[in-house]
Structure 1
Amino acid sequence: MDILKMDALAQSAALDQGDFSVEELMDATLARIEAVNGTVNAIVSLRDGDRLRAEAREADSGPRRGWLHGIPIAIKDLSNAAGLPTSRGSPLFDGEIAETDDIMVARLRQAGAIIIGKTNTPEFGLGSHTFNPVHGATLNPYDTTRSAGGSSGGAAVALATGMLSVADGSDMMGSLRNPAGWNNVYGMRPTWGTVPSEAEGDLFLHQLSTNGPMARSPGDLAALLDTMIGSDPRQPLTWAGRKTLTTVAKAPKKLRIGYLGDWNGALPLEEGIEEISQDAMNGLRDLGHRVSALEAPFDMDALWQSWTDLRSFAVAGGLGPIYDDPARRGYLKPAAVWEIERGRAMTAGVIQRASEIRSDWFRRCTRLFESFDVLALPSAQMWPFDVNWVFPEVIAGRPMDTYHRWMQVVIPAGLIGLPVVNIPAGFGANGLPAGIQLIGPRMSDARLLQLAGQWHAATDWPGARPPPV
C-alpha cells in the first residue's frame, strides 16, 4: 500500500482505523520530499524533520481533532503560519517569522493538520508563473524545463508529485485554476466571501482575491473547502457558505453547460488548447450533460478594462506603503511597480466606471444562468511555457501587452466572484496537461463539485497519469 497515492480523505479514514500511524505517514511524506523536491522546488521553508516526527507521535497518542488529524500540509507562502517564515517571495520579508496563524491556517490546524512548511509562490503572488528571488522557480513535474503556473504553483506541484495529499491556495487571477490545469490536479476558487481572508486593511473595496482548496480529487476539494469556509464577524462581506462534502459523491442532475471557447476570437489560444477543450466537452456530453457552444455574452475588451483597473487599484492599495519607502521600493519587481503606479494614476471616475462594467457583467451572468447551469472555459490559453520566461509575450501570433494578458481567460469568473472548479482535461500531443474551468452562479459550489466528482469517477486523470518525476 502506497499511502502517498491515497487521497487525503482515504488517509484520514486509514489513520482513524489504525491501518498506519501518523508517524508512518510523516516518514513517508518527508522521504518523498527528500526524493523529488530538489528537482521541482515546490515546498520551501520545510521544518525540521525530527520536530515533525515528534509532532506526529504526539498526534498518534492524542485524540483525533478532526478529519485532517495528522495529515501533513504546507501553506502557500502568502499566508501566515505561526512559527514559519512568510516571505511572500520577496527579499523584503525573507526570514520574517509569523507570530500568529491567518484565519484559514488556524482552521486547518483546528481540524488536526500538521503544518510542515510552505509552498512556493511568485513575488507577492503577482503573475501566474511561480518564481521569485528568495526561493527560485518551481518547475513543472511533467517537463521540468517549463513553468508550473501560479501563483499556487508550489501547491499544485506538491500535490501532483505526491508530496502532499491536499493543499491550500489563493486566486485573484487564476491562481487556483491555471496551476491546477498545468499540473493535472483539481483547484477550486469558491464563491467569493465564503473563505474569509484577514480582517485587516480595507474590508469593503477589493473583492477580487480568495483562498481556496487544491487536491487530487473533488472529494478532497470538498472536505478542505468545508474546513475553510465560514463567515468572520470582523469582516462585513463574508458568507457562511454551505457544506459540500455530504453531496459531492452524488451524481448531479443532467446539466446545461455553455462552452465559451475563445470568446468569439477575443482570446487567442495556443495550438491544441481548443482541441483538448472540445475533447473535454465531448466527455461531459458522454456523461449525459447538454453542452452547447455559446456566443460571447459580453464585450471582452470591457471586461479586461474593468479587471485591469480594479486589479491595479487593489495592488496599489496593498503594496503602496512599500513603494512609498525609497529604501524598499527597489525590491519590488517591475510588474508590482507598474500596477502601483497605474493604480495611483486613476481618477475616481475611472474606478467607478470599472465597477459599473463589473456590475453590468454580473447582471448579464444572472440572466445567462437562467439558461445554463454551468459555463466552461479553458483554464489557460496556452500550454506550460519555458520556465526561464518572465511571461509569454505572444500567443498564436498575438502580442501580449501586459505581464498578465496571457491569463485573460480567467477573468470572467474572478471579476464577479463566481465559484470555479478546475478539472484536469487530459494531455496534449506534447505530453503536457491542461484543464477546464467549470463556472457556476454564486453559491453553486456544491453542484460544481458534484460535476467534478462525476468527471473524476470517469477519468481520474491524476491517478491515471502521474508525473514522471
Structure 2
Amino acid sequence: MTSSPTTATHLWSLTAVELRARLLAGEISSREVVDAFQRRIEEVDPQVNAIVTHCPERALQAAGRADDTFARTGRPLGPLHGLPVAHKDLVETAGLRTTYGSRAYAGHVPDRDALLAERYREAGAILIGKTNTPEFGAGSHTVNDVFGATRNPYDLTRSAGGSSGGAAAALATGMLPIADGSDMGGSLRNPASFCNVVGLRPSVGRVPDWPSAAPYFPYATNGALGRCVEDVALQLAVLSAPDPRAPLAAPYPESFDLGSSFDAAGRRVAFDADLGGLPVDPAVSRVLALVPQVLAALGCDVHEGGPGWEGADDAFLTWRAWYQVLCFGELVDQQRELLRPNIVWNVDQGRQVTGEDLGRAEKQRDAVTERARAFLATHEFLLCPVSQVAPFDVTLNHPPEVDGVPTRHYLDWMRACSRVTVTGLPAASVPFGFTDDGLPVGVQVVGRPGADADVLRFAGAVQQAATGSRVAPVVGTIGGQREPM
C-alpha cells in the first residue's frame, strides 16, 4: 500500500468517510494517514493552538498495529479503522495527559479511559493528541492558563468558540478528520458555528457518558464534530450504543446510516430568527435572513416562529449553577488560587441556589419541553441561530454586548443554544454563510425527540444548499493565502 508524496501530503484534506473508503480499499495505510495529519499539525497548529497534547510516536505505533492486523486478517479494526482522533482535554485518556484546561491538573495523567475514548479506540481510531478547552469546559471561548487561547482559523484575532473550540479549529484546518466534543449550553454547537464545521448535540442519553460526577444530569452530553454530516454520523454510530454505567443512556442505539440522499421537499419547517426576542448581532442576522429562502429552494413548507422560550433561561442557569457546585465546589474550596474566575463565579452562584429555586426551574423545564414537543409535532424541524454573535476578539472573556444590549455575565450571549439545551432535543450546528468580514455563521437545526439521524440528514441538505458556506479558512499567517479544503 503506497501512495505518491503528493497524495500523502493532501490526505488531510479528505473527509473521514473518504479516508475510510481508501483505507479499506488498501489504497493507503493508517501509517500514511497518521503521518499526513501529524505533518499538518506541525505546520498549522503553532498559529491556531488547537492540539495541546501531542503523542505522535504513540499514534504511529498504533497505526502500525492497525496496518499489520488489516494485512493479516483483511478486516478493519472497526468503523473508525486507522482514522486519527484527538480527544477534548476533558476526556480521560489512559497514559496521556488530561488537564481539563486547569492549572490544578496540569500534570494529571489518568490510568483509565473514559467511555468515549474507549469507544473510539475499540472502533479502530488512532489517538493522536488532545484538543484545547476552557478550564473544565466553562464557557464558549477556548482559553485557559495551561495552554492559552485557541484562535479562529478564519481570523486568528478571533475566538474559535468553546468549549470544544480546539476540536472545531483542528477540523477546520485539516489537523483532524474526526473529533469529539461536549455540550451543555452550546459548547459543541458554538465552536462548530465559529469554525464552519458541523457539530451535533445529540438527544439526551444518545451518547452515554462515564465517568460522570452527575450521571442523572440531563443538560450535559457528549457529541461529535466533522467537516460534513456524514463524518459526524460515522462517529455517532460508534458512540451511541447503550452502556450500563450510564443510567440515562438510550436503551438501544439509533441507526446513523444516512443513505445516499435526503428529500426535503414538502417538509413543514419553522425558522425562529431570534428565539423569542433574544438580541442578535446584525451581522449574524443578515446572514441568517437567507434561511427561509434556502429552505424554500429545497421545497420545504416554511413557517416563522418557535415554541416560546419563556422560563428556559432561568431553568438552565439554575440547574447549571447547582451542577457546578456538585462538580467543582470542593476544588474551589481547596485550590481557589489555581482556578480562573469563571469556575469560582459558577460555584459562588450555585451556592445561592435553594430547593425552592430548583423546584421552580424544574417546572419551567417541563413547560419549555412540552411546548417544544407540541410545536415539533406540527413542524418536523426548527431552525434558529446557533450563536447571537459572530466570532469575537480572542482576548476577551466574552462579548460585552450583543446588538447594543450589555451582557450580564459570560453565559448571557450563549442563550440561542442554552434555550434549546433545556428541551433535551437533538440540535446540529451547520455551516451557513459568512459575515461581510469573512467570519463563519452557522444555523441551528433542531429535531424531534430522538430523531438525531433525521436532524443530520436535514442538516446535510441545508449545508449543500447554503453554497455561501464553502470558503476555506485562513491558515499560516494572519491574512495569508487560503488553502483548498
TM-score bracket, normalised by the shorter chain, equals: over 0.9
State the 1:416 CA deviation: 2.3
Residue of structure 2 aligned with 1:317, choices 316, 326, 348: 326
State the 1:125 CA deviation: 0.4
Aligned to 1:134: 146
Correspondence 1:6-85 to 2 at 5 A: 6-47=14-55, 49-63=56-70, 64-85=76-97
Residue of structure 1 aligned with 2:312, choices 295, 303, 318: 303
Rounded to whole Å, the distance in 2 between the matches of 1:243 and 1:346 is 37
Aligned to 1:444: 451
Residue of structure 1 aligned with 2:302, choices 274, 291, 300: 291
- State the one-letter code of the partner of 1:466: A
Aligned to 1:466: 472
Aligned to 1:234: 245
CA pair 459-363 structure 1, distance change in 2 beyond 3 A: closer
Aligned to 1:262: 274
SS class of match (2:372) = helix
Correspondence 1:99-178 to 2 at 5 A: 99-178=111-190
- State the one-letter code of the partner of 1:303: A
Please give the per-residue CA displacement for 1:190-221, whole angstroms capped at 9, x wherever unaligned.
001111111444433x2111000100011111
The answer on whether the counterparts of 2:373 and 2:449 sit within 8 Å (CA) in structure 1 is no
Unpaired segments ≥5 residues, structure 1: none
Residue of structure 2 aligned with 1:182, choices 194, 204, 213: 194
Aligned to 1:337: 344
The answer on whether the counterparts of 1:241 and 1:443 sit within 8 Å (CA) in structure 2 is no
Unpaired segments ≥5 residues, structure 2: 1-6, 71-75, 476-485
The answer on whether the counterparts of 1:218 and 1:248 sit within 8 Å (CA) in structure 2 is no
Residue of structure 2 aligned with 1:403, choices 410, 419, 432: 410
SS class of match (1:79) = coil
- State the one-letter code of the partner of 1:223: L
Rounded to whole Å, the distance in 1 between the matches of 2:307 and 2:94 is 46
The answer on whether the counterparts of 1:418 and 1:442 sit within 8 Å (CA) in structure 2 is yes
Aligned to 1:382: 389
The answer on whether the counterparts of 2:58 and 2:128 sit within 8 Å (CA) in structure 1 is no
1:194 and 2:201 are equivalent in the alignment: no
Aligned to 1:275: 286
- State the one-letter code of the partner of 2:175: M
Rounded to whole Å, the distance in 2 between the matches of 1:233 and 1:21 is 35
State the 1:460 CA deviation: 6.5
The answer on whether the counterparts of 1:374 and 1:440 sit within 8 Å (CA) in structure 2 is yes
User: What TM-score, normalized to structure 1?
Assistant: 0.95
Rounded to whole Å, the distance in 1 between the matches of 2:449 and 2:455 is 11
Rounded to whole Å, the distance in 1 between the matches of 2:467 and 2:35 is 27
CA pair 366-296 structure 1, distance change in 2 beyond 3 A: closer
Rounded to whole Å, the distance in 1 between the matches of 2:279 and 2:324 is 26
1:393 and 2:400 are equivalent in the alignment: yes
Q: Tell me which moved more, 30-39 or 287-296.
A: 287-296
Percentage identity across paired residues of the two chains: 38
State the 1:52 CA deviation: 2.6
SS class of match (1:324) = helix
- State the one-letter code of the partner of 2:330: P
State the 1:249 CA deviation: 3.2
State the 1:306 CA deviation: 1.2
State the 1:19 CA deviation: 1.1
Rounded to whole Å, the distance in 1 between the matches of 2:152 and 2:322 is 32
Taking only aligned residues, the RMSD between alpha carbons, in angstroms, comes to 1.5
The answer on whether the counterparts of 1:258 and 1:291 sit within 8 Å (CA) in structure 2 is yes
